[in-house]
Amino acid sequence: MGDIRVPSIDYLSRDFDSLRADMIAIIPFFNPEWTDRNPSDFGITLIEEFAYVSDIMHFYIDRRAQNLYLSTAFTRDSVVELLKLIDYEVPGKSAAIADEQFTLAVPLSGNFTVPENSQVKTLGGTGVASVIFESVEDLEFTWESLTSNATATTITIYVADTTGFVAGQTVNVRDDDLPTGEDKIIDEVVNSTSFTVTAGLINSYTIASNARVSIVKATVGVQQGETQSETLGTSDGREWQLYQLSQTPVVEGAVKVFVTVGIITTQWTEVENLAESDPADQNYELTRSSDGYVSVRFGDGTSGMIPPSGSTITSDYRVGGGTEGNVGSNKITQLVTSLTFSGSPVSMSVTNLLSATGGAEAMTIDDAKFFGPRSLRALRRAVTEEDYAVLAQEVAGVNEAKAVTRLPVVIREIDVYVLPSGGYAPSQALLDEVQVYLEARNTAGMTVYTSGPVNIVDITLTFTIVMTKQYTRNQVEPGVNSALANFFSVESDVELFGKNVNLSDIMALLDRLEGVDHVNIDMLTLDPATTYQWISAPTYPATVEHITPLNDLDLIDQTLSVEFTADSGGTGTDDALYKVVNSVGVTLLSGASLDSTYTLSDGSLSIQLDSFAALTTPMRVGDLAEFRTSQYVGNVEIENYEVRQQGTMTPTYEETD
């Protein structure tokens, strides 16, 4: 048989039609007598079978190749495994956290503890299931005597009240055994004589002999979820033992592992990576599969101790997470756990004064592709501002973080502002988690401060929607409201810290909506954002309200300070006087009183400071507040430590001519 000329191969032919056409095209090179191309021909049938199988094979070959690279990977399994190569664990669901206030119905005559994992829940209702939360640590209610003899005792009280103080009211009592500047919070005074609190924050009062105090109101962090206890198995003494927790989703940071040898049970310590553990370290690490299941891995005797052969391995872990835990304030009001004191039931009320935040669904593939490589910027060590922000965002429940170095730089202090998932105000429990996480990776000598956004800036927008013909307001308005709500949402895809609100952004957002011909912006400004520096009552910040733009002068774009020049005298009435000074020290208003409206001398603003009747602390001479305004119509600048939210939206709808 002579040499057969084989046609060139088209390597781009990978689908059924291309493969079938190529195989039919080369028939004459191998079998010139085969001329029947009818689909009913048996040879054509075989070609089509080969093309079909080859198409499937190419699909899986391409699929495998795509999933070998992070940028093209599209299955969760592949993304999770690829990111493990750079030591990045794709987060699962995070659980919401709230600061829960526990209040005793009556004072107790001894120390009392609300134990860790005590359960509280939302009320629920028809078709709405209750959401269960658990306390993240023990909560202590202490009792003690202030006097040990039959004579009256003088104590110093840090007062947050201007009315008569009687038994049962909340006060801050100074404990002389504590270092200067540290106050012990006492929420109940029993068997005290009545006395009147006079003006001033620090006062001395004489109370009756044998007085005692006990805390009746205290706060602890609670996290959404329920704790599960499980026996994982028995150690066989092998290296790298792996045990999977049976329940999912597991709340990050809420897993405890115990190893029992005989009658001795020891809690082992979780570490990020066993590679950093010594042979005698009783450590373990957690791994998370793509389907959300968590496994406990022990060491090999070199990187972490091997559990002794025959020892029993158990675990307590919390199951929960997701956005369902982001409930509003005063929603977690049901105490589930039964509590007793000296054998008798304890009557308590519970509530969350602020919304629960931090609950989020498992990280998406797209987010994992972004945040995974981004984690390499910090490499587990915080040096730059960006490092601190990146590391803070690795904590479950943190939606966004911003780090700003305090000036001057030589003082080596940095503020890390945290925005939780599902809200604007992070709970103290979440801030504590971020603090611990950052301090473990902190640069030597640097002091870290964590807090929520300094200001949440309300954006005021007044605009006119001119609708295209044949559209009505009822058709257009839902789309406008939805677009604005998504634009200002805390869950939006844009960075929120320091993100300016530009006229062009609003115009582009509304112009592209169905039924909108064009948009006219009549006002885009911020509701004055206030930074407080109260001298006399730093733990009870007042609210400067009702600061209203008067006109559209550019002078409105400025920073102003309010300083109190006369206090209320401790009478419980708000007769404080204040002045307003601009950024260059010019007084624009003086001798102003509360609850009255004034126009600044430059004509830029009308201002009214509402009375502080709801506060428990009077204003003092020298108390300061600073607020910033922006121009009436223009781009709104947001500082690095601020986030913006939807304020007053005033639309008008008109038909096109």
More confident residue, 564 or 6: 564
- Pick the range with the lowest mean pLDDT from 32-36, 159-163, 243-247: 159-163
**Which tens digit of pLDDT belongs to each residue from 360-397?**
888 889 889 988 888 887 777 888 898 999 899 888 88
274, 303 contact by CB (below 8 A):
yes
- Pick the range with the lowest mean pLDDT from 19-23, 361-365, 429-433, 572-576: 572-576
For residue 143 the two structure tokens come to 């009792």
Average pLDDT, integer, range 70-94: 87
Tell me the C-alpha distance between 430 and 451, whole Å: 10
Residue 501: how many other CB atoms lie within 10 Å: 21
- 28 phi, psi to nearest 5 deg: -60, -25
Residue 5, pLDDT score: 67
More confident residue, 533 or 362: 362
Three state DSSP letters for 208-224: CCCCEEECCEEEEEEEE
- Pick the range with the lowest mean pLDDT from 88-97, 469-478, 495-504, 619-628: 619-628
In sequence order, which ranges of 311-451 are alpha helices (DSSP H)? Answer: 365-374, 385-392, 428-439
- Residues comprising the chain, all counted: 657
Average pLDDT, integer, range 82-101: 88
More confident residue, 455 or 500: 500
- Pick the range with the lowest mean pLDDT from 35-44, 194-203, 512-521: 194-203
pLDDT above 50: residue 350: yes
pTM recorded for the entire structure: 0.69
Tell me the C-alpha distance between 375 and 383, whole Å: 13
512, 575 contact by CB (below 8 A):
no
**Which tens digit of pLDDT belongs to each residue from 146-157?**
444 334 444 433
Q: Is 484 in a helix, a strand, or coil?
A: helix
pLDDT above 50: residue 248: yes
Tell me the C-alpha distance between 129 and 536, whole Å: 45
Q: Is 238 in a helix, a strand, or coil?
A: coil
Residue 173, pLDDT score: 40
What share of the chain has pLDDT > 90, as a percent? Answer: 34
Q: Which long-range contacts (CB under 8 A, 24 or more apart) does 274-280 make?
A: 274/298, 274/299, 274/303, 274/304, 275/303, 276/303, 277/303, 277/304, 277/305, 278/304, 279/303, 279/304, 279/305, 280/305
**Which tens digit of pLDDT belongs to each residue from 169-216?**
334 343 333 333 333 333 334 334 333 333 333 344 444 444 455 567
**Which tens digit of pLDDT belongs to each residue from 607-652?**
777 655 434 445 566 666 666 666 667 788 888 888 888 888 999 9
* Highest-pLDDT range among 104-108, 192-196, 540-544: 104-108
**Which tens digit of pLDDT belongs to each residue from 276-324?**
899 999 999 998 887 888 999 999 999 999 999 999 999 999 999 999 9
Average pLDDT, integer, range 60-64: 88
pLDDT above 50: residue 551: no
* Highest-pLDDT range among 166-170, 198-202, 401-405, 409-413: 401-405
More confident residue, 494 or 22: 22
Angle, alpha carbons 67-71-75 (nearest 5°): 40
Residue 619, pLDDT score: 58
